[in-house]
Amino acid sequence: MEIVELKKGIYWVGAIDWNVRDFHGYSTPYGTTYNAYLILDEKNVLVDTVRAPFYLEMLGQISQIIDPSKIDYIVANHVENDHSGALPQLVERVGTPTVITTERGKKGLEKYFQKSFKWRIVKTGDALSIGHRTLNFLEAPMLHWPDSMFTYLKEDRVLLPNDAFGQHFASVQRFEDEVGESVMRHAAKYYANILWPLAPLILKKVDEVVKMGISIEMIGPSHGLIWRKDPGRIIQAYVEWSRGKTNRKILVVYDTMWGSTEQLAKAILKGLIEAGVDARLLHLRSNHRSDIIEEMLEAGGILLGSPTLNNGMFPTMGDFLTYMKGLKPKGKILGLFSSHGWGGGAIKAMRRVLEEEKFEIWEKELAVQFRPDSEELGRAVEFGREFAEKIL
Ligand code: FEO
């Protein structure tokens, strides 16, 4: 593969996973990449590795540039195996490199791999001169795991923040300006499905970086494209997403057994459209949960519809709510609707889950027995219209 140089002496040496379609429950129709970065100086440094099955691909990249045994340091910014899986094999191949990580990183890596390495433990504010360059370390707990940290190359103004600012997107291009606008959609889906629960910490971390006066010319995340042309754009997007900025957009997320809940969903959608909001109809078995979550990011309201099954909600709704509540989306109003046969229960079951997580739920709900008649469909349209007014 072609050698990719970010700046003089700084190389991308990662791997492209074209075929992964499920990333722990997140659909990845475009695959992903595992980015590792090689820095040549008086001491040579590799920042992060790749998922274990891609070890040889990474080694091939490194070998095009230097003899891997000449690596002095390997920075492990994060324990999760998509970045550390190839670490044990690489350490063995290199010899005795020093592995730089946080205290928690050491603990996690030792437990995962049941082995120890030659460690250098770092914390926020620590720096390491490698010749003409200085590596600065900034702990970033929960971005993505408690062990996570960022590595900053001061002289080059390059930030290597591991999972932060990434996208699950495999391509022959390595830089965001080579791809165009679609990069923001990949970044939004990634943020919503991975980093959303950590929104308050993201705001704190961005603030901390600003106060440190760090100047950033390039951001090399551990997944997807490198932000070269306008790194400020993704930082600004993270701030807006983390602040919960929403648009006049409402989702109708539903499943249906015999079509009645779907009739309600479509009537509600009509009401939303009449009220002038940007509305989306999302059937739970036609849309992957991670795509619905991406749609939720900038939506002000979500209407959830489920038929009643065995006195509870439909299983797909249970799956979706389990996933959604873990991501802790803030600043959304939720509304509930349902159709049932002889006995209800879906709305009660949905409400119970959402109340436990302290979501804001619209007190009004819409429940219909069997198939909605024309009067009930009219009420559903009105239900949509009224809900739209709540987020205008
Ligand atoms: Fe890409 Fe948290 O690992």
Task: List the chain pLDDT tens, one digit each, 392 residues.
Answer: 789 999 999 999 999 999 999 998 899 999 999 999 999 999 999 999 999 999 999 999 999 999 999 999 999 999 999 999 999 999 999 999 999 999 999 999 999 999 999 999 999 999 999 999 999 999 998 888 999 999 999 999 999 999 999 999 999 999 999 998 999 999 999 999 999 999 999 999 888 888 888 899 999 999 999 999 999 999 999 999 999 989 999 999 999 999 999 999 999 999 999 999 999 999 999 999 999 999 999 999 999 999 999 999 999 999 999 999 999 898 899 999 999 999 899 999 999 999 998 999 999 999 999 999 999 999 999 999 999 999 86
Q: Is 106 in the pocket of ligand 1 (CB under 6 A)?
A: no
- Our answer to whether residue 112 is catalytic in this structure is no
> Checking DSSP bridges between strand 360-369 and strand 333-340, what pairing results, if any?
parallel
**Residues 6+ positions from 354 with CB-CB distance below 8 Å:** 321, 325, 334, 361
**Minimal-distance CA residue to ligand 1 atom 3:** 80
Q: Is 48 in the pocket of ligand 1 (CB under 6 A)?
A: no
Q: Is 80 in the pocket of ligand 1 (CB under 6 A)?
A: yes
Inter-helix orientation angle 289-296/315-327, to 10°:
50
Q: Rounded to two decimals, what is the model's pTM? A: 0.94
Catalytic residue among 48, 78, 139, 262: 78
Sheet harboring 360-369: ordered strands across?
278-283, 247-254, 299-305, 333-340, 360-369
Residue 145 CA, closest ligand 1 atom number: 2
Q: Is 193 in the pocket of ligand 1 (CB under 6 A)?
A: no
Ligand 1 midpoint to CA 78 (Å): 7
* C-beta atoms surrounding 132 within 10 Å: 12
**Minimal-distance CA residue to ligand 1 atom 1:** 163
Residues 118, 162: contact at Cβ < 8 Å? no
Residue 144 CA, closest ligand 1 atom number: 2
The pLDDT, as a whole number, for residue 2 is 85
> Checking DSSP bridges between strand 26-27 and strand 44-47, what pairing results, if any?
unpaired
**Residues 6+ positions from 374 with CB-CB distance below 8 Å:** none
- Our answer to whether residue 144 is catalytic in this structure is yes
Is the Cα torsion angle 129, 132, 138, 140 positive or negative in sign?
negative
Catalytic residue among 34, 37, 55, 190: 190
Q: Is 78 in the pocket of ligand 1 (CB under 6 A)?
A: yes
